[in-house]
Amino acid sequence: DEEELLSTMRIVISASFTLLCIQLLYPCVSATPPDASNLDVSYTFNKYVVDFDKSYDDNNEGEYQKRKDIFDNRMIEILRHNEAYFSEEDVMNRPGYFMNANHLMDLEISEIPKGFDKSLSPGWAANQQQITTSMTRDLLSPTASTEEKYKYEKKLPFECNDISTLPKEVDWRKKELSVITPPKDQGGCGACWAFGSVTALETQIAIKTHKLHVLSEEEPISCAKNPDQCGGTGGCQGAIAETAYEYISTYGIHTNENTPYEARTDKSVCPKQEPKPQLRGLVDDKSPAVYTMKGFAVLPANDEKCLMNAVAKHGSVAIAVDASHFNFYGGGIMDTPNGKNIDIDHLVVLEGYGTDDGVDYWLVRNSWGPNWGENGYIRIKRSQDCGYDTTPLNALHCKYKPDGNINPVHPVKVCGIAGVLYHSVIPIV
């Protein structure tokens, strides 16, 4: 009858609507990857692909299998590490941090985004030999000379007082007035040098002006000149914090809203000429929210006391690190010893320090997104153990002198776990 027909239609419509909803929602829904303590061999590559919304080239039959093989090897590494971390046995040798699944698990090590040009290694490797701190500082200058420095390099705006005079804990995220922007993701562009330097500048501007802005990494990536090839050839192929700060000190910088991140070099965003000195630091009505800085200061190499003073008294610090053990960090305090060889390959931001269960640590912000590590952060054990970076050219060293001749390459002394103490730069506004 008519009522039975209407009832049947309602069921069909309801079922069709449900199916439509599933079809519409499924592509947008990602499952939550398992907690590190529950991660085991049941977590398959197919689940990973869904969880992290991965897709591969359909025209390349070997791509899927290649990524699966990489993932399988990463799982072995993570599970082996976590077995030691979560074990109730051999507590004395238990690592201080655990690993977890993340969006980097299907990448080759060379594909993991950093920002110093590794293509220059190992051809420019130096022979192991002793080197003084003053020699290290000279190598970081694009001129490799103490007589010729950056135009905007300044003296430290604070005294490096004894550590006992400093706060026991510093965390710039906890300030009543927010001075920290959310964690960012540099994607596949090797632009850690821009992300680290701009992030530290955002905090410094917020401290000084009480206004927090998300600034443009795209501008230094696309526009900052790097003729001496310090840390790389520029753009997504690497540079150093000083490169970014020289550019911003000269031209200023827009907000990310005005000049959004493209993960590539785009010369169309670059200023046509150097602004007049009287306009530096002001808001330009024709170009919204232009900010600038007076310059920057470089901390003494491998100096824990000065680094603690910097983050406690001044604010966020752009620091160079060896991120070779960062890849699958999930939480805890990174305590992997350096060994004799350290390879500085990444720029991050120091935003504090503290102590957890008797272990002193540095609070460091990465540029691999908010889902990496501890909501985009990593804690690194404070240590003054040292080693040597024998390939400084692919990190902070400049390939050329101003006269066009190639700089000599020497190994550099690097201290702190992950090389945290080696090279630090602060923006001055």
What's residue 204's pLDDT?
95
Contacts of 428 (CB under 8 A, 6+ apart): 154, 157, 204, 293, 294, 295, 296, 297
* Set 100, 309, 366, 407: catalytic member: 366
What's residue 290's pLDDT?
74
Checking if the pLDDT of 128 tops 60, the result is no
Checking if the pLDDT of 334 tops 70, the result is yes
Helix (H) or strand (E) holding 64: helix 61-86
What's residue 8's pLDDT?
43
Contacts of 74 (CB under 8 A, 6+ apart): 105, 106, 328
For 67, list phi and psi in degrees, rounded to 5.
Answer: -70, -35
Q: DSSP code of 278?
A: G
Q: pTM of the predicted model, to two decimals? A: 0.84
Q: Top-level CATH class of 36-107?
A: mainly alpha
Checking if the pLDDT of 279 tops 60, the result is no
* Single-letter residue type at 312: A
> Does 36-107 match 170-212+293-428 in CATH topology?
no
Q: Is 73 a catalytic residue?
A: no
What's residue 73's pLDDT?
97
- Measured between alpha carbons, how far apart are the two ends of the chain, in Å? 81
Chain mean position to CA 60: 31
In the predicted model, what is the mean pLDDT of the chain?
82
How far is the C-alpha of 125 from the C-alpha of 390, rounded, in Å?
Answer: 6
What's residue 313's pLDDT?
97
Checking if the pLDDT of 328 tops 70, the result is yes
Tens digit of each residue's pLDDT (9 = 90 or more) over 20-37? 332 333 233 345 778 899
Phi-psi sector, 325: left (phi>0), alpha (psi -120 to 50), beta? alpha
Map tokens 């992300």 to a residue. 195
> Lowest-confidence range among 102-106, 145-149, 178-182?
145-149
Domain boundaries, the chain: 36-107, 170-212+293-428
Average pLDDT over residues 107-114: 88
Report the CATH number of the 170-212+293-428 domain.
3.90.70.10
How far is the C-alpha of 249 from the C-alpha of 228, rounded, in Å?
Answer: 19
Strand locations in 299-366 (E): 317-321, 329-334, 346-356, 359-365
Checking if the pLDDT of 123 tops 70, the result is no
DSSP string for residues in 104-129: TTTS-GGGS---S-GGGTTTT-----
How far is the C-alpha of 8 from the C-alpha of 91, rounded, in Å?
Answer: 65
What's residue 9's pLDDT?
41
- Considering only the C-alpha atoms of the chain, give the largest distance between any 2 of them, rounded to a whole number of Å: 99
Instruction: Judge whether 113 and 237 are in contact, CB under 8 Å.
Output: no
* Set 81, 314, 346, 423: catalytic member: 346
CA atoms within 13 A on the CB side of 208: 18
Q: Which two tokens stand for residue 219?
A: 């501008």
Q: Is 386 a catalytic residue?
A: no
What's residue 243's pLDDT?
95
What's residue 85's pLDDT?
94
* Single-letter residue type at 124: W
How far is the C-alpha of 370 from the C-alpha of 24, rounded, in Å?
Answer: 27
Q: What's the CA angle centered on 162, arms 157 and 163, to 5 degrees?
A: 100
What's residue 6's pLDDT?
40
Q: Is 28 a catalytic residue?
A: no
Checking if the pLDDT of 418 tops 60, the result is yes
Report the share of the chain in percent with pLDDT over 90. Answer: 58
What's residue 409's pLDDT?
78
Tens digit of each residue's pLDDT (9 = 90 or more) over 356-368? 999 999 999 999 9
Average pLDDT over residues 233-251: 93
* Set 189, 192, 236, 415: catalytic member: 192
> Lowest-confidence range among 260-274, 302-316, 345-359, 360-374?
260-274
| Paired strand residues for 346 | 321
What's residue 273's pLDDT?
64
How far is the C-alpha of 184 from the C-alpha of 224, rounded, in Å?
Answer: 20
Instruction: Report the chain's C-alpha Rg in angstroms.
Output: 24
